[in-house]
Structure 1
Amino acid sequence: MADADVGPCPQVFVVDTYSNCDSVPGEKKPMRARAGIQFLLLLLGLVMLGLVVQGVFIYTLYKKTEVLSHERSHPYFLNLSNPKSSEQQDGTIMGQVGSKELNEIPIQQPHLEEVQQRPFAHLMGSNNPGGDNNVVQWTHDSGDAITHNMSYDKGRLLVEREGYYYLYSKVQLNAVLECSLIQHKVMKDTSAYGHSILLMRSKSLRCRTPKPESAKTSNGEYLWNSFLAGIFHLQRGDQIFVTLENMQKIRPGSTDNFMGAFMILP
């Protein structure tokens, strides 16, 4: 009877949570990390290439600077007054320059003969400076006055070779007599135009005013200087001259008044 009262034994179910789990294989290295390494290698290569190019530029600049410093000691510029010595030194220096590397840029210096043949002129004040149309007259063949490969005619310098010229003019005036406008001009006549061309001008209104005794000269004059200078391109056949209004105010003198020109580049 006791056995009949006891129910059947309960079933026990055991769940094995690890029995059906598959093992996960290890993942491969991401492609992103591999691309990052390649980018870093490329960047490093570019940096190295930049350093090499920079080194080449620095070396080239150094060599060119060395050539320039060497050429500045050329005998043409150190001793133009001794052509024979300059020619001897020139052979030595040119031999040294020729032995330098081929990648250097040679610098051509003007020959001594070319420098000596460049036109120039220096005109000095005349005792009779007045000319037609207010053109100042000069002394061109006496004292320190000189013309070289340029001509002079009635106050005008005649250009015989085309090039860039440095022009200058200086006059001294006595501004004590009366109040007037003084204009000092450097002019050019050229075949390309039918009228004179103004190159430079000094314009000043000078009046008779009381001056301290220290500003007066011994003969009671009040002197005023006007100086003009500049670089201009001149053609063959051009005429350069100076005009001065109120010509009677100019103070005659060979050293107080002058005009000149010299070629700086052909």
Structure 2
Amino acid sequence: MDSHVAYSQIPQGPDQVRPSPRVSQKLLFMLAGSVLCSMAVQAYFIGRLYRRVAAVSASTSNNTPGHDGPRPVPPSRSLAHLTDGSDAVHENQIMHWSVNNDTLLRDMDYRHGRLEVRNEGNYYVYSKVSFASSGAFHHRVVLTAPYYVADITLMQSSGSSGGDPSNSHLGGVFHFCQGCAIFVKVSNTSEILQGRTHNFFGAFMV
């Protein structure tokens, strides 16, 4: 009798414990809800990725050569390029330039050897002059501006031909206001070699 009572109070093992049906149903519903939420989140991000890829593809196709859609147009910048031809006239040490097929003028004007600036900004200015064999020479790019009383020398070079033809190159970046004008002066215009490949002068906005 006493031994039977002691045996009945021994606890059951883990494998003998069985969860109730109500607890199993709750666990199943929680697992199913978690899977559905995960699928919804994945679908949302996949949709966003698809829209981004479609937008990039459309942008790329619009820039493809041969496509009829709109293309971005680069902004135009002021520029000028002048060459010295056989009909150019040089006077008072100021070089005058020919207006021919090699002439480029965009938002700049050319008058009496001077390039006139329409739009304020930074410009790269360049000039090349070729001299015959006549010894020393001087080459300058000069600025005249509404707010200056006298002309300003922007760049200059000097040298000696040493009996052979010589070239002088000048180039630099400067800020010009509307109404400024630039021109080239040389020491002796009679010793300049004529020709569009020997002499040129220009500027472009940067």
> Matches of residues 136-155 of structure 1 in structure 2 within 5 Å?
136-140=95-99, 142-155=100-113
Give the unaligned 5+ runs of structure 1: 1-73, 91-111, 209-221
Letter of the aligned partner of 2:91 in structure 1? D
Matching of residue 229 in structure 1 with residue 174 in structure 2: no
Give the unaligned 5+ runs of structure 2: 1-58
- Partner of residue 90, structure 2: 131
**Contact 1:190-1:239 within 8 A present in 2 as well:** yes
C-alpha separation in 2, matches of 1:183 and 1:135: 12
**Quick check: which one's strand share is greater?**
2
Aligned-residue offset at 1:143: 1.4
Matching of residue 238 in structure 1 with residue 183 in structure 2: no
> Which of 155, 160, 163 in structure 2 is aligned with 1:200?
155
**Contact 2:132-2:161 within 8 A present in 1 as well:** no
Letter of the aligned partner of 1:159 in structure 2? V
C-alpha separation in 2, matches of 1:122 and 1:86: 33
The number of aligned residues is 146
Moved more, 126-135 or 160-169: 126-135
C-alpha separation in 1, matches of 2:153 and 2:147: 14
Aligned-residue offset at 1:130: 4.0
C-alpha separation in 2, matches of 1:86 and 1:183: 54
**Contact 2:131-2:161 within 8 A present in 1 as well:** no
TM-score normalised by L of structure 1: 0.50
> Matches of residues 17-56 of structure 1 in structure 2 within 5 Å?
none
User: Are residues 83 and 151 of structure 1, via their aligned partners in 2, closer, same or farther at CA, if it must alter by over 3 Å?
Assistant: farther
SS of aligned partner of 2:92:
helix
C-alpha separation in 2, matches of 1:240 and 1:83: 42
- Partner of residue 126, structure 2: 168
SS of aligned partner of 1:248:
helix
- Partner of residue 190, structure 2: 248
Letter of the aligned partner of 1:235 in structure 2? C
> Matches of residues 6-155 of structure 1 in structure 2 within 5 Å?
87-88=70-71, 112-113=73-74, 115-116=75-76, 118-140=77-99, 142-155=100-113
C-alpha separation in 1, matches of 2:178 and 2:170: 23
Larger gyration radius, structure 1 or structure 2: 1
Aligned-residue offset at 1:165: 0.2
Matching of residue 156 in structure 1 with residue 114 in structure 2: yes
TM-score normalised by L of structure 2: 0.64
**Contact 1:173-1:223 within 8 A present in 2 as well:** yes
C-alpha separation in 2, matches of 1:86 and 1:191: 45
Q: CA RMSD in A?
A: 2.6
**Contact 2:114-2:181 within 8 A present in 1 as well:** yes
Aligned-residue offset at 1:132: 3.2
